[in-house]
Amino acid sequence: MPDTLVLLHGFGGTHRAWDPVLPELDHERYNPIVPDLRGHGTKAVVRPVSFDGCVADVLAAAPGQFVLCGYSMGGRIAQLVALAAPERVSRLVLVATSAGIEDAAARAARVADDRALADEIEGMSAEAFADRWMAQPIFAGTPPEAAAVWRADLLRSDPRDLAEALRTIGGGAMEPFWDRLGELTMPVTIVAGSRDEKFARWATERYPALISHAEVHVIDGAGHGIPREAPRELAAIIQGAA
């Protein structure tokens, strides 16, 4: 019987963010469950948009034990799921993500930035939001084909709901939990793109220092948008074939 594989998307995306990856998976080995997170897609209007709510939704969607993979914001939530119910997560795959902003001043600045951006995008059309979000420096160098897939997914959510999500489950809203990563005893795989310098540094330095059994992969030439930029390579890593 195939193992259940739960895939969590990043901010602004939906379950469709995993469309490039799904055909690359061996469906005799894995049965994918690809939920939307609160504030996004089919769960856009579910309230409250909160980390606890997202964790509860993931645990309710998945039967028994499951392999859990999260990208960016979805990776932050995946870690919270694994910490909340470690007996249910048989393997954890974290893609281009972190365990929060530790420095208090930096986190306060991020909260202010997230709130200002949320206020900005709240009144935008979906098209204007997609252009605004994709223009951030972290996404520079996204290949055109990947950018087209990504933009189509960004258009599937209402900017008003995304603004709420940015305020409540954005990077600034999350209490850092690096000090709890040692509690993760299941197999853990960390993935980053070589062009995504900050996240690659966390993947190769910070995570292995705190999770001694972590397996680390840096995908050459990929940026922050790994599921859309390197779906075949990511699928191979998820399946333990890389």
The DSSP bridge partners found for residue 70 are 8, 94
End-to-end distance of the chain based on CA atoms, in angstroms? 23
pLDDT for 241 equals: 54
Residue 91 near residue 186 (C-beta atoms within 8 A): yes
pLDDT one-digit tens code per residue, 161-188: 999 999 999 999 999 999 999 999 999 9
Give residue for tokens 């062009």. Answer: 195
Instruction: Give the separation between CA 164 and CA 115, rounded to whole angstroms.
Output: 9
Cis before 143 (ω within 30): no
DSSP state of 15: G
**Fold of domain 3-238:** Rossmann fold (3.40.50)
DSSP run (H or E) holding 201:
helix 197-201
Pairing of strands 30-33, 89-95: unpaired
Average pLDDT over residues 202-211: 97
pLDDT one-digit tens code per residue, 30-75: 999 999 999 999 999 999 999 999 999 999 999 899 999 999 999 9
Average pLDDT over residues 75-99: 98
Average pLDDT over residues 74-96: 98
Give pTM, 2 decimals: 0.97
pLDDT for 1 equals: 85
The DSSP bridge partners found for residue 218 are 192
Instruction: Give the separation between CA 147 and CA 145, rounded to whole angstroms.
Output: 5
pLDDT for 179 equals: 97
Instruction: Give the separation between CA 237 and CA 140, rounded to whole angstroms.
Output: 24
pLDDT one-digit tens code per residue, 97-131: 999 999 999 999 999 999 999 999 999 999 999 99
* Angle formed at CA 168 by CA 19 and CA 174, multiple of 5 degrees: 90
| Residue ranges per structural domain of the chain | 3-238
User: Phi first, then psi: what are they for 152, rounded to 5°?
Assistant: -60, -35
Residue 242 pLDDT more than 50?
no
Residue of 99 and 242 predicted with greater confidence:
99
